[in-house]
Structure 1
């Protein structure tokens, strides 16, 4: 078993769990989009590691692009105000777009992103999210590809952070509440 960072309460998904699930997702995306080319869009920063692993498992012609979108500010809960901090460099018009998202929490950011990209006339938009939190007030978003369902707790690792820390953990774990409570 891998060593657990002292700020992690427990590991939800190991490095091996992540590798196996991302491989399965890539196979399914390849099968579902046979004969197509994809534009895979990563929502920075959290989804960058997931997207890097996912695209290596997709056996199709594809292009990668990145957006930075924020609805969190410096807090631990979504502010509800969504801002584009970095836009795509590629045109989405007429293209099959796959959004690679790290975690679907409230869904506000993703809902905004989908509406924004739909206004640019893509051929299609689908979502591949690594994690979908079980929350009561989640926006209604159709995620065609979901890696794992996870509890409504503060998750870090594999690209996801708290105050820009823990992104480099090779697993996904639950952050101890005392870590973020002392910062409030």
Structure 2
């Protein structure tokens, strides 16, 4: 375990097992349909890679880059679009894949933005769901795990661009960010 991690919340194996289940469920729900999978970068990169390898579907992979945290531990509430989609989502089924949803502000922004492009459907998949921090009401279609209101890192999730490479999800020691 990394010296800055207080405890491991989800091990590598637990993550792999749950992501396989999510991939199977999504494959069943979209059977016979083309799906545009949109990874929200940078945090969802590891999750998206593992998730799509567990899908038996005709998919197109795209990425969008938004920022609301900077080097902070909390969302600023101001969403900045840094890289838009490359794919046209008009009349397409879209699955937005996030690493973690806490306030919900980024996802609300993305769903509202995507709806103006007239997709056939929009669903949301997140590895981690932190409902205690939610500021907006939203439906999350696929959830890996519910997580406590702790500062989580690893498996693509960062603090100030660090810890993304950890193969597990862990709680960051308060002394690192306070």
Is the TM-score greater than 0.5?
yes
What secondary structure is seen at the aligned counterpart in 2 of 1:66? strand
Question: Please, which runs of 5 or more residues in structure 1 have no aligned partner?
Answer: none
Q: Does residue 1:112 correspond to 2:126, yes or no? A: no
- How far apart are 1:136 and its partner, in Å? 4.8
What secondary structure is seen at the aligned counterpart in 1 of 2:156? coil
- How far apart are 1:71 and its partner, in Å? 1.0
Q: How is 1:1-184 mapped onto 2 (pairs within 5 angstroms)?
A: 4-181=1-178
Question: Please, which runs of 5 or more residues in structure 2 have no aligned partner?
Answer: none
What secondary structure is seen at the aligned counterpart in 1 of 2:132? coil
Instruction: Determine the C-alpha separation between the residues in 2 that align with 1:77 and 1:95.
Output: 33
Instruction: Determine the C-alpha separation between the residues in 1 that align with 2:159 and 2:71.
Output: 9
What secondary structure is seen at the aligned counterpart in 2 of 1:135? helix
- How far apart are 1:76 and its partner, in Å? 1.1
Instruction: Determine the C-alpha separation between the residues in 2 that align with 1:154 and 1:11.
Output: 12
Does the CA-based 8 Å contact 2:102-2:133 persist in structure 1?
no
Instruction: Determine the C-alpha separation between the residues in 2 that align with 1:170 and 1:128.
Output: 20
- How far apart are 1:177 and its partner, in Å? 0.3
Instruction: Determine the C-alpha separation between the residues in 2 that align with 1:58 and 1:166.
Output: 27
Q: Give the ranges of 4+ consecutive aligned residues of structure 1 lying more than 2 Å apart after TM superposition.
A: none
RMSD value over aligned CA atoms?
Answer: 0.8
Instruction: Determine the C-alpha separation between the residues in 1 that align with 2:23 and 2:143.
Output: 11
TM-score by length of 1: 0.95
What secondary structure is seen at the aligned counterpart in 2 of 1:126? strand
Count of residues in correspondence between the two structures = 178
- How far apart are 1:33 and its partner, in Å? 0.8
> 1:118-175 CA deviation, whole Å, 9 max, x = no partner?
1100000000100001315432111110000000110000000011110000000000
